[in-house]
């Protein structure tokens, strides 16, 4: 099934495991490789945006565009590292770091008001007006003690969303 021209050797699996900080077991990595090959239909070593969009459950997700940008051109090792935040073995820190990276589109380590607004726009679409979105965001920011022009860093995100109630886990099916 899929492109098995490059079978995973034990060495490959260990390298990938190292790269994702052991958040996945070796069997899970093998399963993820099968999945990667299944999605990478033309076998060019990475999954194109089109190939991701052929998964209907992914295509109907409001954040699909943001995630496609992050998934663009990833090879298998990087693909596993991307998904590592969703493993049950990932720490709270890793999960919050992932959420932060989704917001921080220019990757400068600081999340601006506009970057937060962009995500809110993806999540609410045309069902809230632009003005109302800005008002809502400003209001909740101020109530949490942040001015409108504050720049949030990862530590802030850890404070705001990082608590034991954060559930961000996906199970990798292992046959």
Partner 1 sequence: MSKLSTSSSEIDLDRPNIEDYLPSGSIQEPRGKLRLRDLLDISPTLTEAAGAIVDDSFTRCFKSIPPEPWNWNVYLFPLWCLGVVVRYGFLFPLRVLVLTIGWIIFLSCYFPVHTLLKGNDKLRKKLERGLVELICSFFVASWTGVIKYHGPRPSMRPRQVFVTNHTSMIDFIVLEQMTAFAVIMQKHPGWVGLLQSTILESLGCIWFNRSESKDRGIVARKLREHVEGADNNPLLIFPEGTCVNNHYSVMFKKGAFELGCTVCPIAIKYNKIFVDAFWNSRKQSFTTHLLQLMTSWTVVCDVWYLEPQNLKPGETPIEFAERVRDIISVRAGLKKVPWDGYLKYSRPSPKHRERKQESFAESVLRRLEEK
Q: Which residues of this chain interact with partner 1, rule CB under 8 A?
A: 1, 32, 35, 38-39, 41, 52-64, 67, 71, 83, 86, 95, 98-99, 102-103, 116, 119-120, 123-128, 132, 136-137, 139-141, 143-144, 146, 157, 160-161, 166-173
CA dist 69 and 105 (Å) reads 9
C-beta of 13 vs 150, nearer to partner 1: 150
C-beta of 2 vs 12, nearer to partner 1: 2
User: Strand, coil or helix: what is 111?
Assistant: strand
Q: What DSSP line would sit under 85-124, residue for residue? A: GGSTTS-HHHHHHHHHHHH-TT-SS-B-HHHHHHHHHHHH
Residue 140 Cβ vs partner 1, minimum distance, rounded to whole Å: 5
Structure token digits, residue 33: 């490789």
Q: Could you count the other beta carbons within 10 Å of the beta carbon of residue 11?
A: 8
C-beta of 13 vs 168, nearer to partner 1: 168
CA dist 159 and 135 (Å) reads 23
Residue 123 Cβ vs partner 1, minimum distance, rounded to whole Å: 5
Residue 103 Cβ vs partner 1, minimum distance, rounded to whole Å: 8
CA atoms within 13 A of residue 79's CA, in its CB half-sphere: 23
C-beta of 11 vs 78, nearer to partner 1: 78
Length of the chain counted residue by residue: 175
Residue 83 Cβ vs partner 1, minimum distance, rounded to whole Å: 6
């Amino acid at each position: 099934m899929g492109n098995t021209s490059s079978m995973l050797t034990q060495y490959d699996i260990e390298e990938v495991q190292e790269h994702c900080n052991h958040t996945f077991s070796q069997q899970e990595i093998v399963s993820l490789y099968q999945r990667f090959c299944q999605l990478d239909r033309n076998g060019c070593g990475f999954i194109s945006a089109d190939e991701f969009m052929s998964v209907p459950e992914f295509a109907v997700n409001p954040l699909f565009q943001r995630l496609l940008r992050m998934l663009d051109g990833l090879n298998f090792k990087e693909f596993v590292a991307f998904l590592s935040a969703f493993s049950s073995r990932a720490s709270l820190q890793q999960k919050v770091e992932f959420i932060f990276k989704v917001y921080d589109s220019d990757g400068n380590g600081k999340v601006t008001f506009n970057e937060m607004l962009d995500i809110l726009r993806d999540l609410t679409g045309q069902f809230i007006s632009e003005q109302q979105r800005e008002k809502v965001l400003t209001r909740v920011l101020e109530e949490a003690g942040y001015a409108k022009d504050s720049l949030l860093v990862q530590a802030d995100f850890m404070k705001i969303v990082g608590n034991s109630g954060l559930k961000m886990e996906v199970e990798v099916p292992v046959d």
